[in-house]
Structure 1
Amino acid sequence: MGRLRDRITGTRYPDSGIAPLPTTGLREALLAINGQDVPFRIRHAFPKEKADLVAEWRVMEPASGSGVSRRQVELRLKIRMRFIPLQREVRTLDEQVQVTWVGDPPKLAVSRESGSGPAPRVSREWTFEKGPDGRRRKVETFRFDSRDMKDPLRNLVLEAGWTWRGVVYRF
């Protein structure tokens, strides 16, 4: 049952033989990701978030339509991380919120979706253009993949000798 639960929650264990970093070293390493070329940011959590660090990514999909029929979707992905020093474990909770804005000027639409869990969120849009050979080809104009945020965080935690444990409920 343990392996199945680990697979469902996205739990990963570090390789054996890696000396774990202290909690402060891991926290500093995660916060240092902010200085690199990443589309998200990592910050200290607010008290109500019940976490130590939060990684956030906000993306606006390209708008479609014009005037009153204009529609734009805002995607927000949060990964809340709580350190459990005794077990050398980082417990994570993924939150995804999708908000739809309509009209010009944009107003919040009634539809709003949210969810939690380790499932990846992928969103892409393409257009068709005429290629140099005169044939139509598909060109990607927008791309959002939550793994672009989660993978670097998880890899850093594992390289630090800590366990990355996903949870599917609020901690």
Structure 2
Amino acid sequence: MGLFDKLTGTRHPTSGVTPRSADEVRAALLGLDGPDVPYRVRRATPAENADLVAEWRILEPAWHTFFVRTQLDRTIKTRMRLVPDSHEVRTVDEQWQVSWVGDTPRLAQSREYSRGQVTMKTRQWTYERGADGKLHKKETFSFDPAEMKEPLREAVLGAGWVWRGVVFKL
């Protein structure tokens, strides 16, 4: 793995894994979608210029209270293009600012929009005085895009394909 691969998050499958067909990889990625995960995996629209898209379920009623409670201020969308000739899934992330108006979130275009490989993490802590009288830091919330990207990456690598992070163009 080269330096550029490290910067883009590119991962290669374990040697000896026979690459599966593009249809099997697509099915494995779509199979990650389910009601118990805070993200969804779907077929991309023509405007998204990809084959599949994974995104947080921030606007869905069932997950709305989770995201309200966490006061998420950014969200990501991972666009994936399957390239059967080289057995790789090329990925690019888009990050958006989330504006909470009343009790309803909306995605706002902002100067904080970014594209490439997103690794933002959100953490919240509280400080409590312990029995010893000292202040102790306690993590109360953690939000990591790896919760969505790791299962995607593992499905691709398990199918014998390369997970290639791209910065400029799918």
The TM-score, its normalising length taken from structure 1, stands at 0.79
Structure 1 residues not aligned, in runs of 5+: 64-71
Partner residue of 2:83? 84
SS in 2 for 1:137: strand
Q: Secondary structure at the match of 2:12?
A: coil
**Which string of whole-angstrom CA distances, capped at 9 and with x for unpartnered residues, describes residues 129-169 of structure 1?**
35566654333222111111111111110110001111101
CA RMSD of aligned residues (A): 2.9
Determine if contact 1:99/1:113 at 8 Å carries over to the other structure: no
Count matched residues. Answer: 161
Percent identity of equivalent pairs? 50
Amino acid at match of 1:87: S
The answer for the alignment partner of 2:47 in structure 1 is 48
Partner in structure 1 of residue 23 of structure 2: 24
SS of 1:161's equivalent? coil
Instruction: Compute the displacement of 1:75 (Å).
Output: 1.8
For the residue of structure 2 that corresponds to 1:113, the secondary structure is coil
2:128: which partner in 1?
129
Change (3 A) 1:15 1:113: same
TM-score, normalised via structure 2 length: 0.79
Q: Which has the higher strand share?
A: 1
Q: Which residue of 2 aligns with 1:99?
A: 98
> How far off its partner does 1:74 sit?
3.0
* Change beyond 3 A, Cα 1:17–1:41: same
Q: Which runs of 5+ in 2 are unaligned?
A: 59-66
SS at the partner of 1:51?
A: coil
Instruction: Give, in whole Å, the separation in 1 of the partners of 2:14 and 2:103.
Output: 52
1:83-128 deviations in Å (ceiling 9; x for gaps)? 00111110000111123447x6789889651112224110111122
How far apart, CA to CA, are the structure 2 residues paired with 1:52 and 1:76? 20
